[in-house]
């Protein structure tokens, strides 16, 4: 099958924080890959902006080295790389002062799509947004991209939204949650809404429960100081896990367009039940003989911040009444695995006697480390010997059938940046969604803070604290294996 890549229009993309970690690891290698896929025209321009003094040549070297370092398994085509680098320009601009803005204004072309990626600390979002307007650089057509964290609670999120909306309208603001850019997340929507088969089963009558897991093997890395003020609830649950929950639980939108999809997601967040304190487990990783503890990693011997959280919640609406949604995420766990599992109910009656009858159908959507989708079904074990049942995963990614298409899959950042250029906000969070997510999360965090809640310890390399196992075991269910 021949892959179809639709080129985007010429654009000027200004990356504030163009020398930073995110730009070097994700944004620039992603843009290069889309260029290699012939999606970016050579007339496009990428303008790196930061406060470091660099000339164009030095910036191109920095970007070349970053692309080589962070391209992972993708082979870097040196010829393409040289021509890609010609699209790059660099400007030293002080986000908090007047230096560089006049030159930036002269650089940005007004007759092509222009987008401003604020890959800087959230404290600079407001200043950059206001200077882009003050210097008459951004227009009503421009797009501005921001990265999480979108605030650290409801009140700061409201302030951030208010600052941004002073200068840009909501249809110009792209809040990135890279989980939404993953191929399988979109495939989840295709499977749900592109087939008759699943939708009739997608409710409390047929679904027993849903599990969403985002397990990491890494710790806090160089982000210790930031993470210790944030914790897993703010860093992962409020955004990534809630967005995944919304996509699974939302009603079919009337059309696949940004506001129809986001309206439905918003309704899910607003229908989320408050979480009872015995339905939530906070954890913090503890040292082993060879590994440091969380407290050692963040250099805070008295830290009560959670590096793990498991939650049982429900959605108060007709479709999902009584169906538990179990969410868990943590650092320094046994394996790196992000997965959504829709576990269907047991058969009402079985005509067979073997073990297979007890198994439930499970639709599992894997996001990390590999993307894929499987449906566990019961079949007859082939061959003679009577009716022996086996439970097997049916591969729903159809990699073989799709051939080239799968090879060309852009990663989440690539896809989302191209959506910004195309002006498609479907996979970006709207301001009211972010605020609704904080409205649900805030009381949970406030209760912990007021009670000085002490997280349960779990060993580095384990599956999480024992209390989290008990949380689901009490309901006669088990967490899916962290493979
Ligand atoms: P970083 O510290 O590595 O880079 C910051 C960049 O901002 C640098 O290029 C720096 O020169 C520039 N900068 C700082 N102050 C400036 C000023 N006054 N004027 C102009 N430029 C200035 O940060 P990062 O890790 O790249 O993160 C960028 C943003 O993305 C943050 O909001 C972060 O929370 C978010 N984020 C990062 C990651 C990641 O993997 N790194 C993941 C998710 C979200």
- The CATH number of whichever domain residue 403 belongs to comes to 3.30.360.10
Same domain, 25 and 107: yes
Decide which of 404 and 311 is more confident.
Answer: 311
Atom number, ligand 1, closest to the C-alpha of residue 97: 18
Indicate the top mutation candidate among 21, 164, 181, 411 to test ligand 1's pocket, ranked by most ligand atoms within 8 A of CB. Answer: 21
Does 191 reside within a domain? yes
Q: 159 C-alpha vs ligand 1 centroid, how far in Å?
A: 20
104 shares its domain with 248: no
Same domain, 118 and 200: no
For the chain, how far is it from start to end, CA to CA, in angstroms?
32
Do 274 and 419 reside in the same domain of the chain?
yes
Residues 54 and 126 occupy one common structural domain: yes
- Asked whether 127 lines ligand 1 (CB < 6 A), one says no
**Looking at 99, 130, 147, which one is the last position of a domain?**
147
Q: What are phi and psi of 377, to 5 degrees?
A: -130, 160
Contact criterion met (CB below 8 Å) for 328 and 308: yes
What percent of the chain is modeled with pLDDT above 90?
85
115 lines ligand 1 (CB under 6 A): no
Query: Which residues are CB-neighbours of 318 under 8 A, at least 6 positions away?
Result: none
Residue-wise pLDDT for 216-266, tens only, equals 999 998 899 999 999 999 999 999 999 999 999 999 999 999 999 999 999
Looking at the structure, tell me whether residues 286 and 433 fall in a common domain: yes
154 part of a folded domain: no
Q: Residues, the chain, total?
A: 483
pLDDT of amino acid 246: 98
For range 347-361, the mean pLDDT: 78
Q: Does some domain include residue 330?
A: yes
Could you tell me if 30 and 409 are in contact, meaning their C-beta atoms sit under 8 angstroms apart? Answer: no
- 132 and 203 co-located in one domain: no
171: in domain: no
83 or 408, higher pLDDT: 83
pLDDT > 90? residue 387 = no
The encoded tokens of residue 429 equal 């969070």
Is the residue at 356 inside a domain?
yes
- Give the confidence band of 67 by pLDDT, cuts at 50, 70, 90: very high
Give the pLDDT of residue 349. 87
112 and 185 both lie in a single domain: no
CATH number at residue 39: 3.40.50.720
Domain count, the chain: 2
Cα 120 to middle of ligand 1, angstroms: 3
143 and 251 together in one domain? no
Q: Are residues 256 and 346 in the same domain?
A: yes
* Residue among 147, 117, 112, 143 nearest 8 (CA): 112
Establish whether 279 is a catalytic residue: no
Number of Cβ within 10 Å of residue 483's Cβ equals 10
- Per-residue burial over 104-135, b if 16 or more Cβ lie within 10 Å, else e, is beebbeeebbbbbbbbbebeebbbbbebbeee
Domain endpoint, select from 123, 147, 171: 147
Residues of the domain holding 198? 180-473
Q: Is 204 in the pocket of ligand 1 (CB under 6 A)?
A: no
Q: Are 67 and 136 found together in one domain?
A: yes
CA–centroid distance, residue 119 to ligand 1 (Å): 5
Q: How far is the CA of 21 from the centre of ligand 1 (A)?
A: 7
Task: Tell me, using a 6 A CB cutoff, whether residue 52 lines ligand 1.
Answer: yes
The minimum-distance atom of ligand 1 relative to the CA of 95 is: 19
Residue whose CA is at the smallest distance from ligand 1 atom 11:
50
**Catalytic residue (choose from 74, 240, 279, 391):** 240
Q: Verify that 258 and 214 share a domain, yes or no.
A: yes
124, 147, 170 - which closes a domain: 147
| pLDDT for res 403 | 61
């Amino acid at each position: 099958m021949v892959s179809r890549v639709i080129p985007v229009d010429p654009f000027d993309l200004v990356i504030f924080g163009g020398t930073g970690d995110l730009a070097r690891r994700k944004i620039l290698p992603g843009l290069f890959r889309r260029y290699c896929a012939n999606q970016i025209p050579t007339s496009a321009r990428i303008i790196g902006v930061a406060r470091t003094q660099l000339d164009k040549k030095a910036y191109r070297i920095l970007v070349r080295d970053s692309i080589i370092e962070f391209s992972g398994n993708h082979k870097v085509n040196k010829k393409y790389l040289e021509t890609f680098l010609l699209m790059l320009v660099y400007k030293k601009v002080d986000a908090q002062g007047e230096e560089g803005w006049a030159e930036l204004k002269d650089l940005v072309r007004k007759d092509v799509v222009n987008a401003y990626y604020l890959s800087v600390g959230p404290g600079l979002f407001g200043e950059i947004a206001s200077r882009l307007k003050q210097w008459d650089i951004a227009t009503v057509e421009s797009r501005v991209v921001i990265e999480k964290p979108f605030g650290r609670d409801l009140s700061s999120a409201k302030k951030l939204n208010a600052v941004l909306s002073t200068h840009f309208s909501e249809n110009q603001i792209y809040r990135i949650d890279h989980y939404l850019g993953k191929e399988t997340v979109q495939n989840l929507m295709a499977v749900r809404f592109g087939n008759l088969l699943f939708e009739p089963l997608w409710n409390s009558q047929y679904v027993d429960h849903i599990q969403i897991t985002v397990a990491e093997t890494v710790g806090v890395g160089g982000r210790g100081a930031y993470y210790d003020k944030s914790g897993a609830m703010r860093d992962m649950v409020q955004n990534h896990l809630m967005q995944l929950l919304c996509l699974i639980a939302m009603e079919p939108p009337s059309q696949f367009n940004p506001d129809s999809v986001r309206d439905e997601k918003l309704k899910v967040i607003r229908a989320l039940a408050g979480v009872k304190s015995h339905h939530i487990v906070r954890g913090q990783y503890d040292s082993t003989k060879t590994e440091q503890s969380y407290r050692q990693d963040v250099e805070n011997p008295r830290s009560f911040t959670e590096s793990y959280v498991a939650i049982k919640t429900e959605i108060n609406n007709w479709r999902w009444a009584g169906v538990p949604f179990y969410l868990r995420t943590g650092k320094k766990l046994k394996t790196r695995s992000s997965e959504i599992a829709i576990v269907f109910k047991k058969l009402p009656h079985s005509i067979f006697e073997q073990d297979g009858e007890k198994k439930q159908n499970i639709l599992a959507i894997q996001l990390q480390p590999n993307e894929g989708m499987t449906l566990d079904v019961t079949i007859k074990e082939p061959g003679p010997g009577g009716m022996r049942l086996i439970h097997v995963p049916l591969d729903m990614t159809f990699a073989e059938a799709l051939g080239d298409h799968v090879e060309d899959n852009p990663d989440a950042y690539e896809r989302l940046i191209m959506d910004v250029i195309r002006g498609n906000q479907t996979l970006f969070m709207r301001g009211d969604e972010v605020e609704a997510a904080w409205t649900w999360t805030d009381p949970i965090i406030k209760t912990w803070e007021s009670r000085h809640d002490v997280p349960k310890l779990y060993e580095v390399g384990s599956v999480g604290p024992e209390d989290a196992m008990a949380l689901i075991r009490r309901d006669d269910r088990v967490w899916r294996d962290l493979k």
